[in-house]
Amino acid sequence: MTIRVRFAPSPTGMFHVGGARSALFNWAVARQGAGQFVLRIEDTDTARNKPEWVQGILSALSAIGINSSDPAFEGPYFQSANAGLHRDAAAQLFEAGRAYYCDCTREQVTERTGKPDAGYDGYCRERGLSYAPGRALRFRTPDDGETVVADRIRGATAFPNRAIEDFVIARGDGTPLFLLANVVDDVDEGITEVIRGEEHLSNTPKQQLLWEALGHTPPVWAHLPVIVNEQRKKLSKRRDKVALEDYLSEGYLPAAMVNYLMLLGWGPRDDGPEIRAFGELMAQFSIDDVTKASAFFDVAKLKAFNGEYIRALSIAEFIEVCGPWLRAPHAVWAKDAFDAKVFAAVAPLAQSRIAVLSEITSYVDFLFLDEPVLDEAAWSKAMKPGAAAMLRSAVTQLTEAEWNAESIRAAIEAAAAEQGLKLGKAQAPVRVAVTGRTIGLPLFESLEVLGRDRTLGRIEAATAKLG
Ligand code: GLU
C-alpha cells in the first residue's frame, strides 16, 4: 500500500512552528516511503477563512522545503469542497443506526446529570427522533468492548467504549463537526497514516470509531509531542513567538529553522552533530524514534543553530541574505548613504559575529550614518574619567598613522601606552566615539573602512562633548 500522509492546517493567518514541524515530519515519511504528502486546508470555519491565508500556508511550506511542485506533493484540497461527502457520511451513519438525533440542551443534560461538565447521558438514544432544525446528530458509541488506539509514538492505549460519550457529529443546522469532516476527508484522500499534534489525541478513539462505522480500516496514528516554552508551558500565540513568518522576518534562515524543527521530539540515532543537511534529516527521520516527552522550543539553541548556518554561507550568499536588512524599513540610514562596496569590505567580519540577520544593522550602521548612534548606556560605560585624555592621544597618534588596520592598531597601542592603559581599556572610548556602541566589529578594521577623516572627526566630537 502506498503511504499517504497529510498535513491539515486550519487557516488562521499565521503558520505555527508546531505546524511546520508536523508538516516536516509528514514530508519525511512521505519521501522515505515514496508516498504522497497531501495538503488539506481545513477551511470549514468560513468566518475566519481568507484566501490570502492559503497563500501564506503554501509559501511557508515552500520556505521549509516542501514545494507544491514536487511530485510527492498533492493538493491543496479544501475541506469545504467536501461538504457533500460529509453530509452523505452523516446520513449513512444515521440510516445504519450508528447515529441519532438529539434535541437536548446543555442545561437539560446538566440538570439530569447534576454535573455541568459531564458527558452526554444518552437521553435521546432510543427516542427515534428524525432530523429537524436544531437537532444535533450524535454518534452512538458501542455499549461494551474497547477501542484500542495503536499509536506509533505512544504505543497502544485501550479506551473502554462505555467511557466515550455519544459525541456530536453534525450540528443542529446539519453542518458536520470537525471530528466527522476530518475523518471523511482522510478516508476520501486515502490517508494511511495520520501524523499530527498531541492535542488531537483525545479525538482519536472517537475518530477511530467513525472510521470503523463508515466501513474503513483506521489509519496508523502518530501523535507528536507538545512543544513547550521555557516555563514548560505549551507554546501559545498569546505568550510566545510562534509564527514561522516572524522567525523568518527576524532573520532566521529557513534551513536553520528546518534543522531545528526536525529535532523537536526527534533526534538522529548516531551521536553525530545536530547540524545536518535537509536531505540527511529527511532520510534519517523515523517516526518510531519520536519521543512522548514534550519538546522544549529553546530559542537560544535555535539562535546558535542560526549562527552556524550564517557562518556556513559563502560571502556572496551572506551579502545576499543581508540585503533586506540593508534597506528600509530595517535600515536606519538614508537610502543613498548605503555603499555596497563598503558593506562588502566588512561583511566577512560581521558574518562571523551575528546569530540572527536582523543584528546586521547595529554592526554596520556607523558606516552609513553621518553621526554614530547615541547609546547613552554605552557612552557612560566607556567614557570613564581619563577617556578624554585617551581620545586626545588617539587623535594625535592616528593623525600620523598610515591608514590601514595594522598601523591603526599600532597608533592606538601607542596612545594607550601614553595613557598607561591596557589596549582593551583604551579601545572602549574610541569604539564608542566612532560607532556609538560597546559591541561591534573589530575596531581597527572598522576604522580603516570608515576612513581617517570621519574617524578623527568623530573622536574629536566626542572629546569636545566630554569637555
Ligand atoms: N485542522 C486541524 C488542526 O489544525 C488538523 C487536525 C488533524 O491533523 O487531524 O489542528
Only one residue has cell 428524525, namely 130
* Amino acid 48: pLDDT: 65
* Amino acid 87: pLDDT: 96
Residue 223 has pLDDT above 90, yes or no: yes
- Residue to mutate, 5, 17, 37, 182, ligand 1, most ligand atoms under 8 Å from C-beta: 182
Quick check: 129 and 100 in contact, CB under 8 A? yes
Q: Which cell is 129 given?
A: 427522533
196 close to ligand 1 (CB < 6 Angstrom): yes
Instruction: Decide: residue 294, CB within 10 A, 0-12 exposed, 13-18 middle, 19+ buried.
Output: middle
204 close to ligand 1 (CB < 6 Angstrom): no
Which segments of 120-219 are extended strands (E)? 136-139, 146-151, 155-160, 168-170, 193-197
Quick check: 452 and 398 in contact, CB under 8 A? yes
Amino acid residing at 172: G
- The alpha carbon of 77 and the centre of ligand 1 are apart by a number of angstroms equal to 14
Higher pLDDT, 47 or 449: 449
Residue 41, SS3 per DSSP? strand
* β-bridge partners, 16: 243
* Amino acid 317: pLDDT: 98
Query: In terms of Cα–Cα distance, which of 16, 464, 445, 13 is closest to 240?
Result: 16
Rounded-to-integer distance, Cα 83 and Cα 50, Å: 18
Ligand 1 atom at shortest distance from the alpha carbon of 203? 9
- The alpha carbon of 49 and the centre of ligand 1 are apart by a number of angstroms equal to 15
Ligand 1 atom at shortest distance from the alpha carbon of 42? 1
Task: Name the pTM for this structure.
Answer: 0.93
Name, in order, each residue with C-beta under 8 angstroms of 454's C-beta and a sequence gap of 6 or more.
none
How do residues 19-61 score in pLDDT, each as one tens digit?
A: 999 999 999 999 999 999 999 999 987 666 677 889 999 999 9
58-81: burial string, b at 16+ Cβ within 10 Å, e else: bebbebbbbeeeeebbbbbbbbee
**Residue 40: half-sphere exposure toward Cβ, Cα within 13 Å:** 27
- The alpha carbon of 10 and the centre of ligand 1 are apart by a number of angstroms equal to 7
φ, ψ dihedrals at 399, nearest 5°: -60, -35
* Amino acid 460: pLDDT: 98
237 is catalytic: yes
Residue 116 has pLDDT above 90, yes or no: no
How do residues 350-378 score in pLDDT, each as one tens digit?
A: 999 999 999 999 999 999 999 999 899 99
Sign of torsion over alpha carbons 42, 44, 48, 53: positive
